[in-house]
Chains A and B, each alone.
Chain A
Amino acid sequence: MSEQTTPLIEPAEQQGETGARSMVLNMGPQHPSTHGVLRLLIELDGENVRKCQPDIGYLHTGIEKECEAKTYPQVVTLTDRVDYLAPMSNNLCYSLAVEKLLGLEIPPQAQWMRVMLVELTRLNSHLVWLGTHAIDIGAMSVFLYCFREREDILRIFEMFSGQRMMTSYIRPGGLALEPPRGWQQRVRKFIDAFPSKVDEYEELLTNNPIWIRRTRGVGQISLEDMLDLGVTGPMLRAAGLKTDARKDEPYSSYDQFDFEVPTRTENDVYARYQVRVEEMRQSARIIKQAVEGMPSGPWKADDPHVVLPDREKMKTQMEALIYHFKIITEGFRVPEGEVYQVIESPRGELAFYVVSDGSSSPYRVFMRTPSFGNLQATGTMVAGSLIADVIASIGSMDFVLGDTDR
């Protein structure tokens, strides 16, 4: 975050190609299409962008510092708040990291349930992205369609966890609560109807001439630049690189699911749109497989030191009550070590670097968030384009500012 003490971009001394002096435009930190408090400093030559520098940090809340003052179970609630569109992905990544440190085995039902929930999260995130991205470019109605389905997903989350957004449902050791009665019917009803809803969005956009003109050939950046600058996720896949942590480094039994990793080669805003739409269809496939093949058995690991006891046992058995009291008040001790757990969040590579010193609070938690890496490419991506295309370009990155600033 920058206060106005030093100018970030000095207007260029030399005259532009058109003979006019360049000007510096300050877009944000409250501009509606920056989706949060992002500030872009754009040096303009007429309508052409010469240089663009993002300025971040307005949403920095010191979450990583706060993690060090909490016990391991308490940190879960902080991970929700990093990325409000993908809370389950953050829960999962953190839980996997802690479980790797503990060497904890998670039962199959919990693993499959996690996969189903993070894929619903992916749909949730892509739907909000699609709706707001379309609004930025001027297609108003798509937003209403997307939020209709998003509402269904949030209701499913509420059914599972009691919360629509800050779910904290995936915990180290398994799930927070037993899956609710009747979840199969609810999820199946949603997922059976979902592919036809994607058709509806596509009907509005895919062949829409205005949409195509605003997005095709816009926001191009070479694959080498993207790899160099730390871009991950759908943006790389839209440039033809088939990389997806779900396939490359499978976690939480993703290797048991049958799905494709969609790629395009055009590497523009339109290709990123196509990749994400196809990802929604693939997520629907995964969710369907999860609903149909959900293994039975326990939904949390059998480790009384880490996992809270059943409510009923807690009321009737002395040991269970003691364990419950210990975990709630002190947390659990985690063996010394460090892990870097990577998962594929809706936005790209999400990683938690958790360092333990053997106590019941993490010594250090670092969140490698996809938005931070992706946003870094903004300057390279929009330099040389038109000011009107800046909105389409940054929209295609799909970042969340909370995720960037932490």
Chain B
Amino acid sequence: MLPEQLKEDAVAQAVEAFDSRALTGGKIDRGEVTIEVAPANIASVCGFLKHDQGFVRLSAVTAVDRYPAEPRFEVVYHLHSVNPTRRVRLKCRLSGENPEIESVTSVWRGANWYEREVFDLFGVRFLNHPDLRRIMLPETWEGHPLRKDYPVTGSRV
């Protein structure tokens, strides 16, 4: 369902028309459009936005940990259309039980490192990612530092 706020937004309307089940919510806050997408549909929605709506660039992929709330993780995609200049934020909510989501590397190859970073620092797994390894931390590292239940200070035992 298209939320009231997004009724006027062209991108949200297009996503709604493309796959109405994929769009689960969204808002316009401080001039920035956020569209919430069902995790199962993220790759197809991204493909649609890139090829049909001109979002040729994936600016970044990151995540936010809402611990202890559930669903715990928000995976956030920032898309950029160069001409005309437009930006949109996609958001997928994942539970802490088994955080995994389809990779968008098939749409933008540049998602590769960003998804590796989210995997490394949040422990979200990306399905069908060509090379899902830790990128910042050593392979032997335990835990995912950007999770909220990972302490900022303290020593390892």
Contacts and interface: CB of A to CB of B under 8 A. Distances in A.
A323 to B, nearest CB: 25
Interface string B77-121: 010101101010100000000000000000011101110000001
B137 A368 contact: no
B89 A3 contact: no
Given A1-B134, A57-B135, A65-B152, A340 B32 contact: yes
Contact of A337 (B30, B82, B114, B121): B30
B21 to A, nearest CB: 25
Contact of A2 (B57, B110, B133, B150): B133
Contacts of A351: 59-60, 78
14 contacts: A2-B134, A5-B139, A60-B136, A60-B137, A62-B145, A65-B146, A227-B56, A228-B110, A230-B59, A230-B108, A230-B114, A248-B85, A353-B62, A368-B62
A74 interface: no
B76 interface: yes
A353 B76 contact: yes
Contacts of A338: 29, 32, 34, 89
B133 to A, nearest CB: 7
Contact of B138 (A2, A249, A337): A2
A405 B136 contact: yes
Nearest to B65: A364
A337 B32 CA distance: 11
Interface residues of A, number: 43
Interface of B: 29-30, 32, 34, 56-60, 62, 64-65, 76, 78, 80, 82-83, 85, 87, 89, 108-110, 112-114, 121, 133-140, 145-146, 150, 152-153
Interface centre among B58, B60, B140 (most CB of A within 10 A): B60
A248 B84 CA distance: 9
Interface string A210-243: 0000000000000000011110000000000101
A56 B133 CA distance: 12
A66 to B, nearest CB: 7
Contacts of B134: 1-2, 57
Contacts of B64: 355, 363-364
A296 interface: no
Contacts of B60: 230, 351, 353, 366, 368, 373
Contact of B113 (A62, A101, A376): A376
Contacts of A100: 30
A340 B110 contact: no
A1 B138 contact: yes
A69 B138 contact: no
Contacts of A284: none
Interface string A334-354: 000111101000000101010
B146 A372 contact: no
B133 A229 contact: no
Contact of A376 (B76, B78, B82, B112): B112
Contacts of A406: 136
